[in-house]
Structure 1
Amino acid sequence: MTDKKVWLITGAGRGLGLDIAKAALAAGYAVVATGRNKEKVAQAIGAAADLLVVPLDITKPAEAEAAVKAAMARFGRLDVLVNNAASFYAGFF
């Protein structure tokens, strides 16, 4: 367990989620970074002692439960949730 604030960030493999994850780590927080492809998330963020990368497709409740359980097992708590994951369909409305 850690005394640091623990952030869980969905959609952390690219875009705003990736930037938030990197900024939180740089600020000294522990980060649970999630995305549909665990390897891509890990590669995008890089290695860090206070980083836990777990797979999470937000449309699958069992994966959300597993992500929270993994975070609790590693860090003992969650302090901040950044619910960033989404689907974006570009095109005409």
Structure 2
Amino acid sequence: MPAPEPTNSHFADQVVIVTGAGSGIGRATAAAFATAGAHVLGVGRRPDALAGSAAQHPAIESFPIDVIQDDAPEAIVQAAFDRWARIDVLVNNAGVFAAMPPAQATATGSLA
């Protein structure tokens, strides 16, 4: 399926990182930015799911990594800089659900 032509958008040629881009809101967000003319780095844990997102538009590039890894933030930023030499927008959409009282949560989402 050919990619839609970008509209006259202020996102044209912007560099956008979307975490959680493998499905749902993240996938839709990555596609919307790409359609608006942005270069999108789609980030997520599942390479196959990210490949599905990237297949929606040629301006979406996948970067599989788990954002809770200690080195993930630096690796994601470096990947964007290696490709496009800048970052204009970050959509921090990655999420996980763990039902627990906030006082018991740790940085990785596990019980303290």
The two structures have a TM-score, normalised by structure 2, of 0.70
Q: Percent identity?
A: 38
Q: 2:73 aligns with which of 64, 75, 92?
A: 64
Larger Rg: 2
Unaligned runs of 5+ in 1: none
Q: 1:81 aligns with which of 90, 93, 103?
A: 90
Aligned to 1:36: 45
Regions of 4+ moved over 3 Å: none
Rounded to whole Å, the distance in 1 between the matches of 2:32 and 2:56 is 14
What is the alpha-carbon root mean square deviation over aligned residues?
1.8
Unaligned runs of 5+ in 2: 1-11, 100-112
Letter of the 1:61 counterpart: D
Is 1:19 the counterpart of 2:36 in the alignment? no
The two structures have a TM-score, normalised by structure 1, of 0.83
Aligned runs of 1:3-14 on 2, under 5 Å? 4-14=13-23
Deviations 1:36-86 (A, max 9, x none): 012321123316443221112121121221121111000110000000001
Aligned to 1:50: 59
Rounded to whole Å, the distance in 2 between the matches of 1:8 and 1:88 is 22
Q: How many residues align?
A: 88
Q: Which is worse superposed, 35-44 or 72-81?
A: 35-44
Whose RCO is larger (CA < 8 A, sep 6+)? 1
